[in-house]
Amino acid sequence: MKKQIIIVGAVIGLLATVGTAFAFHSWGPYHWARQSNPFTLKLGDNVSSAWDSVLRTASDDWTVSIVLDTTVVAGLSSRRSCKPTNGRVEVCNAKYGNNGWLGIAQIWVTGGEHITQGAVKLNDTYFNTAKYNTVAWRNLVTCQEVGHTFGLDHQDENFSNTNLNTCMDYTSNPVSNQHPNAHDFEELESMYAHGDSFTTVLSSVASRIKNVVASERSSEDSELGHVVRRDRQGRPSVYEKDLGKGEELLTHIFWAE
């Protein structure tokens, strides 16, 4: 049975609580269109056996929410291309190169707010090293990148302060930051409190939109669009690309320390 979470009122914005912790943590107005809650979002399994249990853990963790369920299904993409599929999220791992990032989450948005598809990429170039090849690091990054595909943002972006016990928190020690916390579920309830007259959670057709990843040559890859936010170290953390016809691609980057 799902945990009962107290619904709290929220508005989109940033308020300091502890250090740089975000009281309200959504990307913006971005959410999946659906006509009722809870809705079920498919996570396409394009990962290797080393990641299967990690993906299932992330799916189980987020399904605690009372507004959404996730289910792991067969993937529809290759690991390296991680081509998106309309109406669901594809999750992939590959050796994407020494480009500085551990994981990437991408969402395709229509009408300025409705997510139509998502993709998560996990970079084995780093996860095959001694520092990051741990269950804790794999759980943290997978949980966070999947959370981004719902429209969630970070609660905190300071690697060195006290852990908030959520995967939506940057940290140098991920042991206590492997799963969502109550505030993540409260934020989802706020984001998905309203109804929509249609749904974007339905198709299993591979997208014709080109999927792009950060370049190994430059972290400021123009294919991702323009930088709309930087992290505390000045690195691009969110990109936005106008795809035309009211569609946008947003890319969230989880950098290695």
Domain limits of the chain? 31-255
E strand spans, the chain? 31-32, 39-46, 68-74, 89-94, 101-110, 114-123, 226-230, 236-244, 247-255
Which residues, other chains included, contact 87 with Cβ-Cβ below 8 Å and sequence gap of 6+? 42, 116, 117, 200, 201, 202, 203, 204, 205
Per cent of the chain over pLDDT 70 is 85
The answer to whether 73 touches 45, Cβ cutoff 8 Å, is: yes
What gap in Å lies between CA 111 and CA 138, rounded to an integer?
Answer: 33
Rounded Cα distance, 231 and 77, in Å: 30
Tens-place pLDDT, residues 103-158: 999 999 999 999 999 999 999 999 999 999 999 999 999 999 999 999 999 998 88
* Predicted local distance difference test score (pLDDT) of residue 1: 43
* Torsion-angle region of 256 (φ positive above 0: left; ψ -120 to 50: alpha; else: beta): beta
List, for residues 200-251, the tens digit of each pLDDT value: 998 777 776 666 655 443 445 678 999 999 988 899 999 999 999 999 999 9
Q: Which residues share a beta bridge with 58? A: none
Instruction: Quote the CA–CA distance of 65 and 78 in Å, as a whole number.
Output: 29
Percent of the chain's residues with pLDDT above 90: 77
The predicted model gives 70-77 an average pLDDT of 98
For 109, list phi and psi in degrees, rounded to 5. -125, 140
Query: Whole-model pTM?
Result: 0.88
* Identity of the residue numbered 124: D
What lies within 8 Å, CB to CB, of 237 at 6+ separation is 157, 229, 230, 231, 252, 253, 255
pLDDT at 92 over 90: yes
Residue found by looking up tokens 């940057």 in the block: 170
Q: What is the third-level CATH fold of 31-255?
A: Collagenase (Catalytic Domain) (3.40.390)
12 has pLDDT over 60: no
242 bridge partner residues: 248
- The residues near 108 (Cβ < 8 Å, ≥ 6 apart) are 84, 115, 116, 117, 118, 207, 209, 243, 247, 248, 249
